[in-house]
Amino acid sequence: MSEGVRLVNRMFDIIEVLATHKQGVTLSQIADMAAMSKSTVHRLLSTMCARQYVERNEDGSYTLGYKFIETASNHINNLELITEAKPLLSRMLWDLNLTTHLGVLEGPNVVYMEKMDVYPNTRLYTQVGYRSPAFCSSMGKCLLACLSGEELDKVLDCCDFKKYTPHTIVDRDELKEHLKKIRVSGWAMDNEEYQLGHRCIGAPVFDYRGCAVAAISASGPTTQLTDDKIETVRREVKSAARRLSRRMGFAES
């Protein structure tokens, strides 16, 4: 076993000790329970404290830090989000005959957490885990529109504003005005902005805090998502997003 792998194993040993001692545990106790030298434990704890995965309390004991709890909570919330979203995505799929997605914002991109396809055996351009630029996707624009001004500027600073099609909005000020309208309307459309011949309509999903934690969408070629179908799709996507938000604890005022 390499030294790097050995250190990773020891870090997990420390985490397991801390997880079973919620009131805190001293360095010496950790060393005894994990069968390590105090110097090794101290070195690893220092690293984990610096990353906020472990906290050192005033009495000198150690507990799991907020970053560890936050990371675990985000994972649990994502699992719950996917579980709750699946039946709604399935219903949209069959009602609209369009591909449906669940996505979350990660930096300047949207990450696809779930996908239900009209043609499940056909590999199209999106798959679970796929990332697309938020500024020209329906789900991405929904989530960008829900950010504060400062948060939005930080994300836009990381966008490349590549002109994927003649319809892509690449002017930052124009995009901001576009996002203001999306925030008011509660839905967004990628109208051939990322891929010619393809449309997508999305709406944001809120959690119990009123934070936009995800978005859902229905998409397809312009031959399927035609002009006369936009209003029907918009209504169903917004309705599904509201239902999913309620299941995530959101209470509309």
User: Could you give all domains of the chain from N- to C-terminal order, each with its CATH number?
Assistant: 3-64 (1.10.10.10), 74-247 (3.30.450.40)
> pTM of the predicted model, to two decimals?
0.71
Average pLDDT on 76-84 reads: 77
Token pair in block for residue 40: 């090794």
Cα–Cα dist 95/233, whole Å: 9
Encoded amino acid at 157, one letter: D
For residues 194-220, average pLDDT: 94
Query: pLDDT higher for 253 or 146?
Result: 146
Question: pLDDT value at position 197?
Answer: 95
Give pLDDT, residue 76. 62
Written as one string, the DSSP assignment of 180-209 is: HHHHHHT-EEEESSSSTTEEEEEEEEE-TT
Residue 123 has pLDDT above 50, yes or no: no
Q: Which residue has the higher pLDDT, 231 or 53?
A: 231
